[in-house]
Amino acid sequence: MQFDASLLARVALEVARAALERAGPVDAVGICNQRASTVVWDRTTGEPIGPGIGWQDLRTVGACLALRAQGLHLAPNQSATKLQWLLDTFDPDRDADLCFGTVDTWVAWHLSGGRLHVTDPTNALVTGLRSATGGWDERTLEVLRIPERVLPAVVDSCGVCGEAAALPGSPPIAGLLGDQQASLVGQGCVRRGDAKITFGTGGMLDVVLGPGTPPFERRGPHGTFPIAAWSVGGAVTWGVEAVMLAAGTNVQWLRDDLRLVSSAAETHDVAARCDTTDGVVFVPAPLGLGTPHWDYGARGALFGLTRGSGRPQVVRAVLEGVAHRGADLVEAAEADAGVAIPVLRVDGGMTDNPTFVQALADAAQRPVEVSPRREATALGAALVAGLAVGHHRRVADLAATWSPRVRVEPARVLDREAWRRAVERARGWIPSLSGIDL
């Protein structure tokens, strides 16, 4: 998956200018972005040397597997091998004066008129080029032949790093956050044990830990990853992240491929025609299973079908399957992080569906609070930028910004044992892919 980086920057500036024209001056600018997506550009001209490469792009899977022999554990969704590919393709001699950045870096460059080449820890850590203990990894740079001069400076997530000279009034750029961390802050998750899941095409659970780094640098025993949640005043607050490879994708499948519903919203109405799935279980694994299994050879499956299974049962089973995966993420994060998650906050397109939200509460057996904004990322970036210029005194104050649209309590207990049996049967469906550990 690649994208037009110049178009992205142009549209970002147009949207920012339109917002200022409509709303008036602002005190600060915050940037949130899709993490690990990679852009490389000429430092003098500001023109990209090749396509922007999206985080889901898998062109470097082979390179990641080959690098294992050299002791480097990199994943194709990280920026490292994407950057290597762009340099190998467009600057094989490594003699051009280039800049690398994730989308936050690219947007900040354009907002500042080419004066800023920066990123923050939430983005730097997911490039695969920086260790949790800090600093760019010299060994990785050497093996991939990445000159350190192409890398951005790492600044605080919350703090003024320059001016948005391309905008009227040149407001300060004061916030940089990866999208999942921005959603975390946007939902008021700033205390230890606070957690959210964003249910988009995939699903990401992030939980706040605190100032100490997680006890693992790559992947925990239950399949979660360490993340920098944010940084202020040079101090990083850490967390862990759990990953669902397919969430809303399964609803799209119901709508676009099976044509069981005409819209995503209709899944609620159809599922409501039955009280339970009558034993039907759906494993939402069209792309494999992420946390805690990390089985790329698992595949989606329907179990428990009888002659009486109809459209309502299948649609409900799909929604409940995604809810079960959400509960899997919660259990894995609690086990790896050593914290309890008493309440789950959620945003993303699937949270508009009452049947799904109730199923999530029932599967996870804890209250679920729904964000008043479907996408909390932009709010999170705005909050850290506002914090940097004095709208709040400290990060802890941001907890008071949370006011859920609705709070849903568990109403029944979903059969987690049947779910686990179904997952085991769906795993290993393509053995060659199941054997890949990225």
CA-based max dimension of the chain? 67
| Contact predicate 87/146, CB 8 Å | yes
DSSP 347-400: ESGGGG-HHHHHHHHHHHTS-EEE-SSS--HHHHHHHHHHHHTTSSSSGGGGGG
Query: pLDDT digits over 168-179, tens only?
Result: 999 999 999 999
Q: Which of 98, 80, 103, 85 is CA-nearest to residue 3?
A: 103
> Is it true that 2-170 and 180-438 share their CATH fold?
yes
Q: Which CATH number fits domain 2-170: 3.30.420.40, 3.90.105.10, 3.40.50.300, 3.40.250.10?
A: 3.30.420.40
Angstrom distances, CA of residue 430 to CA of 23, 433, 435: 53, 6, 9
Q: What sign has the CA pseudo-torsion 302, 422, 361, 209?
A: negative
Which two tokens mark 390? 């004095």
pLDDT in single tens digits along all 438 residues of the chain: 899 999 999 999 999 999 999 999 999 999 999 999 999 999 999 999 999 999 988 899 899 999 998 999 998 989 999 999 999 999 999 999 999 999 999 999 999 999 999 999 999 999 999 987 778 999 999 999 999 999 999 999 999 999 999 999 999 999 999 999 999 999 999 999 999 999 999 999 999 999 988 888 889 999 999 999 999 999 999 999 999 999 999 999 999 999 999 999 999 999 999 999 999 999 999 999 999 999 999 999 999 999 999 999 999 999 999 999 999 999 999 999 999 999 999 999 999 999 999 999 999 999 999 999 998 999 999 999 999 999 999 999 999 999 999 999 999 999 999 999 999 999 999 999 898 887
Q: Return the pLDDT at 337.
A: 94
Q: Return the pLDDT at 316.
A: 98
Q: Which of 204, 218, 235 is CA-nearest to residue 336?
A: 218
Angstrom distances, CA of residue 378 to CA of 32, 39, 223, 434: 6, 21, 28, 36
Query: What is the DSSP pairing of strand 118-119 with strand 153-154?
Result: parallel
| Contact predicate 99/152, CB 8 Å | yes
Q: Return the pLDDT at 217.
A: 84
Superfamily for domain range 180-438: ATPase, nucleotide binding domain (3.30.420.40)
**Domain coordinates of the chain in residue numbers?**
2-170, 180-438
**Cα 405 to chain centroid, rounded:** 22
| Contact predicate 350/248, CB 8 Å | yes
